[in-house]
Amino acid sequence: MRIVLLFAFLLTIVNSTIGQVRFSDEILNNPNKYGSIIEKSFNIKETSTFKIDSTTNKIFLKNGLRSSMYINPDAWLSIAENLEVISINIVFSKYPIRKNGYFMYHKLLFNRLKNLFLIDPYLNDSTIEWNITLHTNCLNDKQVDSLFHGVIIEYKLNNLGLDSATNILATIPSSNSALEMLEFMESFNELPIEILLDIQNRDPIGKTEILIDYFEKLLKDTTTQEVTPEFLKKYELLINKFIKTYGNSNDSIVYKVFDRNKQWKNALIVADWTGSMYQYGAQALLWHTLNFENSGLEYFTLFNDGDLNSDKSKKIGETGGIYFEKADNIDKVIQLYQLVMLKGYGGDIPENDIEAIIKGIEKYPMHSEIILIADNNACVRDIEFLEYID
């Protein structure tokens, strides 16, 4: 058995995904290379009348004019557990302004980000809105040093007082991306009229419950469709629509890798199915569909790092959120894609890659090769179990 590790390198710096890293180590450790790109990725505003508003749900972490160290990290850590971060605003001065104008000091900005993530790694999240506010009333060092320099974390409560089933589902509509996902599923699928009527006027939680039940019933049906040229063309169009919706249609890195390795036979695909990775697993299915007669892809295993379980409840080796389907059932793989999306987004950054590989091997022991499609921006939660892959 051979394992191929196919890391999907995300080609865009900023990606509106759920629970994925916003700033990779590669970026944070190279301010000279990525500084101007990252600067442009922020929402930047200037003000001459900045005031600290302590009446809203905000935490102020202070550093200083030329400092990247935060003097009050406990202000955030003492309350962070049950909160959802909405936005992070990095506040500093547009100073000094030299003869040729103001240039942002990227090394200091990147060190402020790195030290912030040392306080709480979960703040390095692409679903958070990232802003920069620049003081413009800057006269001299002494006056500028008296201004607030630091980070403002805006948050909201996570509604953790709900019963467990509702509590899990309540996290689903917490971002615009999740609401857009539900709207896409309604338009993407030829849903039966009774399902359309049932989800009409429901809130996101209610819609999610109904759609999960719908896709689970479809996947339990063992009836298979005949694979005809018309069938393949239909699903080629659907998969392309899926990729365009959840990714960048100009980024075909995974498709190209499969096209270069047509020798892969009887392969088990193990794919990270969280946020920014949707398009990469779908590229594998697109290649399989367009090369159906000669494709060596036989099985799919998708993992989302524990469905919607809380980060604290995740046990290494037993995280869950792992799903299976045979590659030839292209229609069912598309249904599985959407079910796994509805089931959860993984939450924290590390993923359960090794657990998914082991479960995939148990489900499909007759495979010859394993191809792992993983996120290079996410650590492997259960790397210690690598020795159990024979």
pLDDT of 221 above 70 = yes
Amino acid 160: pLDDT: 43
Specify if 184 maps to a domain. no
Q: Is 320 part of a structural domain of the chain?
A: yes
Q: Answer whether residue 102 shows pLDDT above 50.
A: yes
In a domain, 124, yes or no: yes
Give me the mean pLDDT over the 328-344 stretch: 92
Q: Give the domain extent around 381.
A: 224-388
Q: Who wins on pLDDT, 173 or 82?
A: 82
Listed in order, strand segments (DSSP E) in the chain are 2-8, 43-47, 58-62, 83-93, 129-135, 150-157, 267-272, 297-303, 322-326, 369-375
**Co-location of 236 and 378 in the same domain:** yes
Q: What pLDDT does 346 receive?
A: 56
Percent of the chain at pLDDT above 90?
46
Domain boundary among 122, 157, 192: 157
Residue 186 in any domain: the answer is no
Q: What is the pLDDT of residues 338-358, one digit of tens each?
A: 999 988 765 666 788 999 999
**Quick one: 128 and 239 in the same domain?**
no
Domain identity same for 147 and 231: no
| pTM, entire model | 0.58
pLDDT for the residue numbered 78:
84
Classify 260 as helix, strand or coil: helix
Residue 230 placed within a domain: yes
What is the band of 87 on the pLDDT scale with cuts at 50, 70, 90?
A: very high
Q: What average pLDDT is seen over the chain? A: 84
pLDDT tens digits for 239-280?
998 888 877 667 788 999 999 999 999 999 999 998 778 889
In this structure, is residue 238 part of a structural domain?
yes
- 3-state SS class at 3: strand
Q: Are 38 and 147 in contact (CB under 8 A)?
A: no
Structure tokens at 384: 């210690």
Domain with residue 42: its CATH number is 3.30.1330
8-27: average pLDDT: 57
**Domain tally, the chain:** 2
State how far the alpha carbon of 382 is from the alpha carbons of 21, 310, 345, in Å. 18, 17, 18
pLDDT reported for residue 13 = 32
CA 17, CA 304: separation in Å to the nearest integer? 13
- SS3 readout for 123-158: HCCCCCEEEEEEECCCCCHHHHHCCCCEEEEEEEEC
> What local confidence, expressed as pLDDT, does residue 2 receive?
58
Q: pLDDT at position 130, please? A: 95
Q: Is the pLDDT of residue 118 over 80?
A: yes
Tell me, yes or no, whether 228 and 356 share the same domain: yes
358 part of a folded domain = yes
Lowest-confidence region among 141-145, 232-236, 270-274, 369-373 = 141-145
Residues 371 and 242 in one domain: yes
Together in a domain, 335 and 252: yes
